[in-house]
């Protein structure tokens, strides 16, 4: 990642470093006061304000004390930064914590001003692709034919 002060890549590095140091104040400092977070797959989780960022991370650090974050890839286009993240750790109850996904950030004044958040918990098991497609596409639709079978009339 680049090192230009205030650049999107540098800001991603600051954020990942603050997470890896478990420093909620340093995490919060990466965000503008009026920061807006949208979570399109879970709209009720959206919020405004960097104080909520600090509260979120204080809870994460309390429940996953060894969490680490890594930016796998990023791309900057003007004031927009696309970033792919992985986070790993162990919860206080001994279970694994793993998140993966993409976060799009808006950058202004050397801080993140908005985000569209697509980071999700990793599901290690679960249905294969065919069952998952049937489950998601057919949810609430009644009978769903198996892939590769003809509908009966």
pLDDT at 149 over 70: no
Question: According to the model, what pLDDT value does residue 153 have?
Answer: 40
Give the mean pLDDT of 61-84: 96
Question: pTM of the predicted model, to two decimals?
Answer: 0.82
Give the mean pLDDT of 21-34: 96
Handedness of CA 11, 16, 20, 23 (dihedral sign): positive
Report the mean per-residue pLDDT for the chain.
88
Question: According to the model, what pLDDT value does residue 3 have?
Answer: 40
Question: According to the model, what pLDDT value does residue 145 have?
Answer: 55
Kindly report the CATH number that applies to the domain delimited by 8-138.
Answer: 3.10.450.50
Of 151 and 73, the structure prediction assigns the larger pLDDT to: 73
> How open is the CA angle 103-67-14, to the nearest 5 degrees?
55
Confidence of residue 28 (pLDDT cuts 50, 70, 90): very high
Give the mean pLDDT of 44-72: 96
Strands (E) located in the chain: 31-38, 47-48, 68-77, 80-90, 96-108, 111-121
């Amino acid at each position: 990642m680049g090192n230009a002060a205030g650049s999107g890549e540098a800001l991603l590095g600051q954020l990942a470093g603050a997470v890896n140091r478990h420093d909620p104040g340093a995490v919060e400092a990466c965000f503008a006061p009026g920061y807006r977070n949208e979570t399109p797959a879970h709209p009720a989780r959206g919020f405004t304000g960097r104080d909520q960022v600090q509260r979120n991370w204080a809870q994460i650090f309390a429940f996953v004390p060894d969490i680490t974050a890594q930016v796998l890839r990023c791309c900057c286009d003007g004031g927009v930064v696309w970033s792919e993240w992985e986070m790993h750790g162990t919860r206080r109850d001994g279970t694994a914590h793993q998140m993966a996904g993409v976060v799009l950030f808006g950058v202004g004044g050397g801080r993140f001003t908005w985000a569209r958040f697509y980071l999700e918990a990793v599901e290690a098991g679960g249905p294969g692709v065919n069952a998952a497609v049937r489950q998601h596409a057919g949810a609430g639709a009644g009978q769903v034919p198996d892939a590769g079978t003809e509908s009966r009339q």
